[in-house]
Amino acid sequence: MEQQQRTLIIFTFFLALIGITLIVVSLATDNWVESNPQTLKNKTSGSGSQKSDVNFGLFKGYRNLNYGFGQRKSGLTVHCEASEGVCVVYPDTGSISASEYIHNALYNVVKNNTKNNTGTDDVPLYMKGLFNYGYWVSSIISAALSVVFGLISMGFAIFNICGKPIETITGPMGLYIWNGIAFLFALLDMVMFLILFLTSLKKNYLLEDDSDKFELTDYTNFGYSFYLVPGAVAMYLINIILLVCSGYKLKCSFSSEAEKVVDNGMILY
């Protein structure tokens, strides 16, 4: 039984390593969102000659837009204004700085929304290419914490394989806790970006001048970088399942090797 438990713990070590690798690769790559925008004219005519493609991640990306008279290539950078609570996927070829664009866009949103008393609807932020800063930063922080607790779970797995830990936070209880926390943060990373994508990025990630020329909703999807995160979630979940199958119980107690033995009034260790 002990050998079987040790074997399963070895598996949890490697699965945690895979989970960490998946999260790190997802953060390092620029394919969280992949899109093939269609110009409104192209969509109406049904012509497929004017191709555009865009991909970006949590930090940067690349776009190749065709306005109907040739492709225009540029890099993309995710720029955020924490004080304003918004971010924008800004092209390197922008005529003004990203900060200026954000402040101008927010000013126009506020200005337009003051017309509500005349029957004009509120202008959503995504119409200006802006999206929620909270979801974005929560996704990054959750991914980082998932990696941290994944590393901790690997360390405790080695400790349980090579040593004989007291059955408290260093023993089976610790393996459950660290894998469980890593699982929760990886899941939170996935959920935060999913919400961000559905509420903003799928509808529009282009600047206001470009969003009037392209149709995005039906041509924008998750990229492979995003799908690495559910893979990491699965790795941590399998770890928890393996711990359950190993027969380890989630309890806080001391092993027999750490108990004090009393013999004829003397305390022995």
Q: What is the DSSP secondary-structure string of 114-161? A: GGGGGTPPP--GGGGTEEEHHHHHHHHHHHHHHHHHHHHHHHHHHHHH
Note the pLDDT of residue 173.
79
pLDDT value at residue 35:
95
Give a yes or no: residue 264 inside a domain.
no
Residue 263 belongs to some domain of the structure: no
- The gap between the terminal CA atoms of the chain, to the nearest Å, is 26
pLDDT of residue 86: 95
Report yes or no on 268 lying in a domain.
no
CATH number at residue 124: 1.20.140.150
Indicate whether 11 belongs to any domain: yes
- Over its length of 269 residues, how does the chain's per-residue pLDDT go in tens digits? 477 778 888 899 999 999 999 999 999 999 999 999 988 765 555 555 568 899 999 999 999 988 777 778 899 999 999 999 999 999 998 889 999 999 999 988 877 766 655 445 577 899 999 999 999 999 999 999 999 999 999 998 888 878 766 555 666 778 889 999 999 999 999 999 999 999 999 999 999 888 888 999 999 999 999 999 999 999 999 999 988 886 655 554 444 444 444 445 554 44
Q: How many domains does the chain have?
A: 1
Using CA of residue 154, residue 157, residue 161, residue 163, what is the dihedral sign? positive
What local confidence, expressed as pLDDT, does residue 255 receive?
Answer: 44
**Residue 260 is assigned to a structural domain of this protein:** no
Residue 265 lies in a domain: no
Which residues form the domain of 190?
2-251
Side-chain half-sphere of 232: how many Cα atoms within 13 Å? 35
Is there a domain that residue 179 lies in?
yes
Is 266 part of any domain? no
pTM reported for the whole predicted model? 0.84
pLDDT at 269: 46
For residue 143, the model assigns a pLDDT of 97
